[in-house]
Amino acid sequence: MRRGLLHALTLAAVLALAPAVVMAEPLELGDSAFASVLTCGPGDDFYLAFGHSALRVCDPGHGLDVVFNYGCFDFNTPHFYLRFAGGRLDYFLDRVPYVFFMDEYAAEGRAVWEQRLNLEPRQVANLLLMLEYNRQPDYRYYRYDFFRDNCATRVVDMVEAACGHSSLNLLAGSDGGTTYRRYVHRAAAGGWQWWLLGVDMLLGLPADHRCTPKEACFYPLELKECLAGASMDGQRFARRERQLLPDVRGEWRRGVPPLAVTGLLLAVLAALTLLERRQGWVGRVLAVADRVLFALAGLAGVVLLLMWFATDHSCTAWNPNLLWASPLLALVAIRMDKSPLWALWLIAGGMAVAAVWVVVCGASVALLPLIAALALRVSVLIRRKPRRQRLPR
């Protein structure tokens, strides 16, 4: 009885005070103590479409059952949206009772799965101590990176550290070789086509990196699959998953897909281009349409340059979309037929390369008609040049 009371008081001290130094003696938990990874299904908002991962630590003998969540952020952070857009938003670790965590996801109708880890009580105690240490005000905040440092990657890092940095083999559960971009497409397949088009425009070449099994675990549902076949020191690392909550969200109402809109834009511009020489009014309409189209594409290019050079996002650098959404198009929108021929050929060549890149990397196919529409109208400007000037020197 006295030993059980001592354990309870020790746990209470750790959870309430969470000392900033590691205890000399490891915390002793009961034989029934366990740690598990909770994987949450997608929600009804785009930022929830990728799911979520958290760590549960439970010791039924001492009444301990808490969830550690690295996916928390504060909307009251000064300049929240500016910091988020600039890749400078800090997330933090929080701890909530297990029942509160489950109630929140049940209210949202989202699925939750649990995978209990085959850890010894000593390793579970190590994990608990490290999580509590990380929850201190000086350590709980971290600079969020969607691909490299998020709620799921932190779960893997903490579990490996609790096991003495033993090698966690995730290869058996991973499909391997998939790029970050394709994981984003997999997550957004449930009806987020317009958001996905925007994301594909913002993501640069780093998003086309082929992930190792550990890197692929940035995606919570992929982490779940990896854990299903994972091993550590030759032993199975996680037990078979069990579903704690079903997905009871309503059916998604699909709107007009972006491919239909960009395809229609291309068809209309192609038809008007064929009629341009026959009908005078068509030329006047296209003159206005060209200026608007080129100006919007050029403005998009300026935004992409800012996302590359003016933010801390690692995934928006070296963006091939700048080959078709060139800032030079903003100047073309002003000068139109007076645009220098070298600039028009440079833009046209970039659009051809960009179209190949879209196909190779698997970006949103809705980009292809948009690129084709811009290329069509740029080619018209080139054709208007005197014959002796059409080919670049």
Tens of pLDDT, residue by residue over 118-133, are: 998 889 999 999 999 9
> How far is the C-alpha of 359 from the C-alpha of 200, rounded, in Å?
12
DSSP 245: E
Residue 346 near residue 352, CB atoms below 8 Å = no
Residue ranges of the domains in the chain? 2-176+211-245, 258-389
CA distances from 109 to 42, 58, 220, 258 (A): 10, 24, 18, 28
In the predicted model, is pLDDT for residue 190 greater than 80? Answer: no
Phi, psi of 36 (to 5 degrees): -145, 160
Tens of pLDDT, residue by residue over 38-56, are: 999 998 888 888 999 999 9
pLDDT at 173: 56
> How far is the C-alpha of 326 from the C-alpha of 113, rounded, in Å?
45
> How far is the C-alpha of 241 from the C-alpha of 367, rounded, in Å?
39
pTM over 0.75: yes
Residue 166 confidence class, pLDDT cut points 50, 70, 90? low
Tell me the mean pLDDT in the region 74-80. Answer: 87
Structure tokens at 256: 């007009």
Biggest distance spanned by C-alpha atoms of the chain: 99
Residue 393 confidence class, pLDDT cut points 50, 70, 90? low
In the predicted model, is pLDDT for residue 271 greater than 80? Answer: yes
Q: How many CB atoms lie within 10 A of CB 219?
A: 26
- Mean pLDDT value across the chain: 87
In the predicted model, is pLDDT for residue 171 greater than 70? Answer: no
Of 256, 205, 236, the C-alpha closest to 358 is 205
In the predicted model, is pLDDT for residue 3 greater than 80? Answer: no
In the predicted model, is pLDDT for residue 28 greater than 80? Answer: no
pLDDT at 283: 86
Residue 170 near residue 237, CB atoms below 8 Å = no
In the predicted model, is pLDDT for residue 224 greater than 50? Answer: yes
In the predicted model, is pLDDT for residue 19 greater than 50? Answer: no
pLDDT at 164: 81
CA distances from 290 to 30, 121, 138, 230, 374 (A): 72, 68, 54, 55, 9
